[in-house]
Structure 1
Amino acid sequence: MRRTRLKHIGVTAILLLAGLGGAGTFPASASGNEASATTSAASTADTASVSAGLLGAMQKEFGLSAEEAKARLAAERTATTLEPKARGTAGAAYAGSWYDAEAGRLTVAVTPDASRATRDALSKAGAAVRLVEHSARQLDAARDRVDQLDAPSAVAGWHVDPQANSVVVSVVRDKLADNDVQRFLTRARAAGPVTVETVAGAPGTFAAGTVGGDPYYTGNVRCSIGFSVHGGFVTAGHCGQAGAGVRGWDGSYIGNFQGSSFPDNDYAWVNVGSGWWTVPVVLGWGTVSDRLVRGSAEAPVGASICRSGSTTHWHCGTVLGKNQTVNYAQGAVHQMTKTSVCAEGGDSGGSFISGDQAQGVTSGGWGNCSSGGETWFQPVNEILNRYGLTLHTY
């Protein structure tokens, strides 16, 4: 940020509470009860310093008490740590996983060829185990085949849903009987296990004419900063092409788009200079304390997640799906994460964060923050890997 802005950022960063720390790992020999006790002890320390603002937002969004909100944050942190280990334990039998808010733990789906030892190991680590027909590898292959089809505009997108053990195709509700839609669905079902859901509207991007976490401007478009990286920040690709100049909230020059991809992907990064610098902070806009960024561990499906953007500021919801193909008017974008969080024009590129872990940058969706809607983001780790960037963390 420019020096005139840093005073505000410095104060808010100092006021930030520690947020969630790292959850402990499960010993291979621990029983389910022992694992729960270990997790509970670690989680008590982790959630002791969660800000009142974040707890308040969790209470409002999910109808929880303060203690229930703390318990959910702790359980989600444990599930986030467990998910990659569960994938490794299940191996070829892995069929996806998700956080079950009612049970307060991760559910791991496996195919019937998972050995008893594998299922026992998952259970002892604290996960619920569900037997399903199709592996994650089979579902991903089916989704890839659907990606090769030409989709009409009334098909909003598709993704692998581990709970349904299927590729779910989303169709605009009043267009389901359309002949082009029905032809697409026939071809999609031939590609593998497919189910159909209806949605209220077709997705669109959330860029806006001169309207952002913190806003930035390129040409006559306003978007939002996603996350600071060393040397700049990441954001949405549809906000600007490589080489385009970027101005900050005060109109001063920041830098240029160094790389940008849209459609197919929706990510970009901007270099920072001219008196601006990066800080590992996501704005809470007075709804919650500004959030320090401590890493980018990926939250599981079902976990709570919040978004910061310059138009509608801070809103929260849950992760609904991963690896979704979104069929925008400009072309399909792949490997997106779907959420129940609302957004509006100008929020594009802004931060999706779970606890203190960066998740991704806002891409698009449908609806608004008055009547509700759904929003997709491009996962931040994919952006970092694509451009060889390092997330700026506290």
Structure 2
Amino acid sequence: MNRQRALAVTAAGAIATALSLAAAPASAEILDAKAEAARDDLHGNVSQGVIDGLQDAFGLTEAEAYDRLAVEDVAADLLEEVPADLDESYAGLWVSEDADEIFVATTDASDSTGLRAEGATPVLVAHDLATLEDAASALSAVTIDGYYGNYIDVVANTLVVEAADAATAADVIEAAGIDPALATVDAGAEAPQTYFVRGGDAYNIENSWRCSVGFSVRQGSTPGFVTAGHCGAAGDSVTGGEAAPGTFRNSVFPSADRAWVAVGSGEALYDDVNMYSGTRDVANANVAAVGSSVCRSGSTTGWHCGTIQAFNQTVRYAEGAVYGMTRTSVCAEPGDSGGSFITGNSAQGMTSGGSGNCRTGGTTYFQPIGPALSAWGLTLVTT
């Protein structure tokens, strides 16, 4: 694959640049080889709908869509391996904007040789991921009006504090007792909201409001689906819409935003996602890296795509704080809550909430599917 290599520049400045320049030739060749192998596996195993969706969302040719998926597959594999290999020096992994390079941030320059050998471009930074995560955890107890949440920006190697204005953000940082050098401020951020409305179709809860199905699952022999926790409480009934009738068996909101609905034993479970111009098969629940493409399906706005921006976002809704969300550039609107987030054929999670809309764009958060599957012993229905 032909690639135009990006220059890795972060807060670490000249050292990060020097590492990237030294790493580029070897890393590029190894990544090319890994991506080519992944690309071969993708042919025949990825539906044309996946490719068409990427072409529409990112303005790609068919060949470029396959190239992007191949690099994202390599990144997903490295995301499982690299954090444990680097341990205390690990500071994050992401795919470049054009999906032609995989960056791994580290606080130890001696990691660079091993990272190049894996096909990654090493970037030397000041703060390891654990330090930033500890700072984020210290913010959990802070409740100040106008404080909307936080997330770790691995590309910039910083903890981002979202607030209505800079003064509020400064108060939050001081109240948490964290080092201001670890944080940057997103002043003027919009207040997030959960996405659900009254009436409508898709699936209706208690004959009163509407949400969207996430993914088909089973608990033992009991069929059902996962969705957002704010859509309903345990015991609430699903009474209509496009989904089969059922009952919320478990639901968590706030703190998390996940739920699962059990449906009748005779109901059929489909191993795909509605793209509103076809369907996309679900093959697994492999976690996609930051920078990877991701698409969302919801009953209000249909199918929209964007990229993954950050993991472990804290979102402070009016109803309470939610932790461990994934931040995306995908738009969504009321009624899309609970709907599917998917990368390639890998289930990622269920729509939680966000800000903006699908006319002007916005930010949307999803609840990763993994915690729901593990907490309730659910099995994802796959092809």
Q: Deviations over 1:150-200 (max 9, x none)?
A: 132x2221011111211101123xxx15x5454224335735611112455
How far did residue 38 of structure 1 move?
4.1
Q: Deviations over 1:19-56 (max 9, x none)?
A: xxxxxxxxxxxx74355224313313414554444333
Equivalent residue for 1:149, pick from 142, 156, 167 = 142
1:139 has 2:135 as partner: no
Q: Distance in 1 between matches of 2:31 and 2:150?
A: 36
Letter in 1 for 2:150: W
How many residue pairs get matched?
Answer: 352
Give 3-state SS (helix, strand or coil) of 2:241's partner.
coil
1:86 has 2:75 as partner: no
Q: Which residue of 2 aligns with 1:277?
A: 268
Superposition RMSD on alpha carbons, in Å? Answer: 2.1
Equivalent residue for 2:123, pick from 109, 123, 130 = 130
How far did residue 262 of structure 1 move?
0.7
After TM superposition, list the pairs within 5 Å mapping 1:176-255 onto structure 2: 176=165, 180-188=168-176, 190-191=178-179, 193-198=182-187, 200-211=189-200, 214-230=202-218, 231-249=223-241, 254-255=245-246
Equivalent residue for 1:96, pick from 82, 92, 95 = 92
Q: Please say if residues 255 and 274 of structure 1, whose CA atoms lie closer than 8 Å, have aligned partners that are also in contact.
A: no
Q: 1:35 to 1:59 in 2, by over 3 A?
A: closer
Equivalent residue for 1:298, pick from 265, 287, 290 = 287
Q: Distance in 1 between matches of 2:268 and 2:31?
A: 43
Structure 1-normalised TM-score? 0.84
Q: Distance in 1 between matches of 2:36 and 2:172?
A: 48
Q: Please say if residues 362 and 376 of structure 1, whose CA atoms lie closer than 8 Å, have aligned partners that are also in contact.
A: yes
Q: Deviations over 1:293-352 (max 9, x none)?
A: 111010111110000011111000000111010010011100000101011111000000
Give 3-state SS (helix, strand or coil) of 2:245's partner.
strand
Q: 1:350 to 1:365 in 2, by over 3 A?
A: same
Give 3-state SS (helix, strand or coil) of 1:370's partner.
coil
Q: Distance in 2 between matches of 1:382 and 1:151?
A: 28
Q: Which residue of 1 aligns with 2:114?
A: 121
| Deviates most, 347-356 or 62-71 | 62-71
Q: 1:292 to 1:386 in 2, by over 3 A?
A: same
Give 3-state SS (helix, strand or coil) of 1:384's partner.
helix
Q: Please say if residues 61 and 316 of structure 1, whose CA atoms lie closer than 8 Å, have aligned partners that are also in contact.
A: yes
Q: Distance in 2 between matches of 1:351 and 1:130?
A: 33
How far did residue 354 of structure 1 move?
0.3
Give 3-state SS (helix, strand or coil) of 1:151's partner.
coil
Give 3-state SS (helix, strand or coil) of 2:87's partner.
helix
Q: Deviations over 1:238-269 (max 9, x none)?
A: 00000111124258x62211111111111111
